[in-house]
Amino acid sequence: MREILPVLDGWYAAGEPFGLATVVAVSRSAPRGPGAAMAVGPGDEVAGSVSGGCVEGAVFELAREVVASGEARLETFGYSDGDAFAVGLTCGGEITLLVRPVTPGRDPAFGAVARSVAAGGPVTVATVTDGPATRGATLAVWPERTSGTLGTEGLDAAVTADARGELALGATGVRHYGPRGQRREDAVSVFLHSFAPPPRMLVFGAIDYAAAVARLGDFLGYRVTVCDARPVFATPKRFPEGVEVVVEWPHRYLRATDTDGRTVICVLTHDPKFDVPLLEVALRRPAAYIGAMGSRRTHDDRRRRLVEAGLTERELSRLRSPVGLDLGARTPEEVAVSVAAEIVALRWGGSGAPLTVTSGAIHGR
């Protein structure tokens, strides 16, 4: 959804109605997760994808139908022998979609949500998917305000509280309530779609490898900062547009920078005078991934210095060093792919092994 919002906001601002299909639930090997979206707008223009091509044709027709009828629909697509290549998922998974019409009259907060997401602000959109409440009704929830209603004051209050909790975690999913927000009932299903600010990638060491890692980090949706104490290397022209470049000693910058459980830290300086003070700070901070570049000899020396600096075995166990997966990478771009692959594998619990030698579900829970 985040990627197609600028297109949708353009349609919305022009007063053009469009049909918006959003994945609200998945099972087994579904190709896209909750929050994936596809929209059909003026002139039958299509933006986004909900399945990578399996059911887009059927969703296109559904989106046109909800715009014409003004009524939201909940549809489930799964694998079946009879129609797997027509409107089913060939991967064997199952996805449930909420398809709803969007106009300024039906969804007055849509433009404000799009602007918040574009500015990197946090917001959760709650949408009724099933039950006695009006399907497709929306409530936009920011940390400090709300806009819209799901139908009753009690339901709005309960969903607002939950939406803010999910927003703090960057979580998206379906919650269940009673018609007036009762916590122990499940008559009403509400999809909470959190647009948390993009996670951060902090790259230390303004070398050629850093430029390649920053480029892939930006591609993967991270807000990337490159930091180096040497101004001759830390220049914006050496890095992709949109990447922040900071001239500062790495450990000082990190000490003054907030991190959280989604932050990725890549230490590419492979120089002890930078690495050791930086990793002393990094390994004691919240972070999803902390990787350091260097040969195995460099790693052993760096680890010895960190032990001497007082880091515990538990703290050192968080360090991914030498950085990246074993791809046989040589060039900066290949090394960046290796690092990105390790980050993705760690995020989702992947093994990093070729799929040809693994078994079971390709997309883990």
- 10-residue mean pLDDT series, the chain (365 residues): 92 96 82 87 94 82 95 83 47 82 93 92 95 94 95 94 85 92 91 90 94 93 93 91 94 95 93 93 96 94 95 96 94 96 90 87 61
- Closest to 210 measured CA to CA, from 185, 230, 190: 230
SS3 138: strand
CA-based R_g, the chain, Å: 23
3-state secondary structure of 50: coil
Residue 20's DSSP bridge partners are 39, 100
| Structure confidence at residue 77 (pLDDT) | 85
The pair of three-digit structure tokens given for residue 297, joined into one six-digit string = 């000899």
Position 28 scores a pLDDT of: 64
- Give the start-end residues of each E strand in the chain: 18-27, 37-40, 46-48, 73-78, 94-102, 123-130, 138-141, 146-148, 173-177, 188-195, 200-204, 223-228, 244-247, 264-267, 289-292, 319-320
Residue 308: exposure state from Cβ atoms within 10 A (0-12, 13-18, ≥19): exposed
pTM over 0.75: no
| pLDDT reported for residue 81 | 37
How, if at all, do strands 94-102 and 18-27 pair?
A: antiparallel
> Which residue type, as a one-letter code, is found at position 207?
I
Which among 37, 44, 36, 35 has a CA at the least distance from the CA of 17?
Answer: 44
